[in-house]
Amino acid sequence: MNFLKKIILWIFGISITGAVLLVLFALYGNFSGGERVGKIIKISKKGYVFKTWEGQLNTGEIQQGLWPFSVKPNDQKVLQDLSEAMKSGHRVSLHYNEKYVSVPFLGDSKNFVFMVEVLND
């Protein structure tokens, strides 16, 4: 009986550890990163339970001209830079990280912008 309890505890411990590692990987693991250039055409705060900041960048391409992105909720500097660039109509270079999976309470897309660079036309 003691042996059975140890096995159940080991299975439970391994399951909990695996779940925690999976959540940490989803939150902090990046699939890729880079830059996208275009004009900001939309920034909105949306969601029923989790309010997230979502935007669209018009890259000017014919096939896939609109590129969706998210901004982490606590990144006020990026939100302010995006808003100013959208209002002025300037082209921007968005520096982003792409996650493996989308995390509902952080944003709808897998692309998270962490820096905005306004380009001189």
pLDDT band at residue 1 using 50, 70 and 90 as cut-offs = low
Q: What is the pLDDT of residue 113?
A: 92
Summary mean pLDDT of the chain: 86
Q: Which residues, 6 or more positions from 81, have their beta carbon under 8 angstroms from its beta carbon?
A: 116, 118
- Output the six-digit token pair for 3: 């042996």
**30 pLDDT above the threshold of 80:** no
- 8 A C-beta contact, residue 79 and residue 86: no
- CA dist 42 and 80 (Å) reads 13
Burial, 76: exposed, middle or buried (Cβ in 10 Å; 0-12, 13-18, 19+)? exposed
For residues 79-85, give the mean pLDDT: 90
- CA dist 82 and 79 (Å) reads 5
Q: Give the model confidence (pLDDT) of 63-76 as tens digits.
A: 667 889 999 888 88
- For the chain, list the domains and their CATH numbers: 31-118 (2.40.50.140)
